[in-house]
Amino acid sequence: MTTITEGGVEIAGGELQDAAARLDVKIRQEWQESERSMVRLAGLLSRMREQALWTYLIDLRPTCKACGRQKLPCRNPCTCVEPEFAPGTKPYARFSDYVTAVTGLAHTTLYDRLAIYGLTQGSDALDPKDVEEMGAKNAAEIAKLDPKDRTEDVIEAAKKESTRKVKKLVQEKLNEKLDPEERKDPTFMFARNLDEPTIELIEEIEKNGIWIEAVRNGDKSVSQLVKLWNYVWARFVLDYGEELEEGRRYREAMEAAAVRDAEEDEPGDGPPDPESHEATLQAMGNDLPR
């Protein structure tokens, strides 16, 4: 029988070291696999964590000879002026360090994977094939639900729908169990490529905007920022309703003209013929505000 001594480094015998080394090789192989299985990988990592086998492994990542710290992107990287790095000689300090060293995954991603593995375990286990079909992001959402809430329709949705839809569905299920004032609306990343001055303008408005009276309304189901953005765009609709209506007519005329062009354009790729050009102008003219 082997025991772990202080610091988790030394053990009697060497069985745990051997087991750790073998499991380490398996994990690295699975990670390198071109068709690696998320479920299998999470299972191997879970075993590495539960049996604390990672504490027997040496963190070989380059370590500064002077200060003993590692390169970026670690938590506490070396800041020496001209550092000289050599492979590390100490065991991993944390399980998440081990996972990052092997996979490059951040530990939040890691916990998603372990949660996904949990989906395939126990008496309410899901079929691993279903979990694979969901993909990592949707499966991580499903893992937030109690086993009895993982109903057939939820599982089918997770296999077919976008992560945004699944996240919303899961949040609705979670909300059912919360008091009304504790319920949260799910939020989503929403990206646009904007130029620097526009971004500065938005950020400047956000700074004070989240504290204007219309936004300080005590609703805690979404953040102040969500409420501000909603307010800004809702305000735009109120103030520029006529302009938006004119914009809609303009767009529809352009789209109709593009369809006509595509239909008439079959013979050649020349410039638009005068007739269809005239029709476009007329369509736009007819639709301008009276």
Position 3: which residue type?
A: T
Candidates 64, 101, 131, 157; binder of Zn ion (CB under 5 A) is 64
Choose one: 47-55, 61-69, 91-99, 120-128; the region binding Zn ion (CB under 5 A). Answer: 61-69
C-alpha–C-alpha distance, residues 54 and 15, integer Å? 13
CB of 180 to Zn ion, least distance (A): 53
Q: Which residues of 146-166 are buried (b: 16+ CB within 10 A; e: fewer)?
A: eeeebeeebbebbbeeebeeb
Residue 12 in contact with Zn ion, rule: CB under 5 A? no
Contacts with 192 (C-beta within 8 Å, 6 or more apart), sequence order: none
CB of 55 to Zn ion, least distance (A): 25
C-alpha–C-alpha distance, residues 185 and 221, integer Å? 6
Q: Which is nearer to Zn ion, 6 or 82 (CB)?
A: 82
For residue 75, what are the CA distances in angstroms to 81, 106, 114, 148, 268? Answer: 18, 11, 22, 38, 62
Q: Which is nearer to Zn ion, 31 or 85 (CB)?
A: 85
Q: Which is nearer to Zn ion, 67 or 178 (CB)?
A: 67
Choose one: 59-67, 87-95, 168-176, 212-220; the region binding Zn ion (CB under 5 A). Answer: 59-67
Q: Which is nearer to Zn ion, 68 or 241 (CB)?
A: 68
Residue 135 in contact with Zn ion, rule: CB under 5 A? no
Candidates 25, 66, 205, 254; binder of Zn ion (CB under 5 A) is 66
Size of site (CB under 5 A) for Zn ion: 6
For residue 233, what are the CA distances in angstroms to 16, 22, 37, 226? Answer: 60, 57, 43, 11
Q: Are 121 and 42 in contact (CB under 8 A)?
A: no
Q: Which is nearer to Zn ion, 80 or 288 (CB)?
A: 80
Which 78-107 residues touch Zn ion, going by CB under 5 A? 78, 80, 83
Residues forming the site for Zn ion (CB under 5 A): 64, 66-67, 78, 80, 83
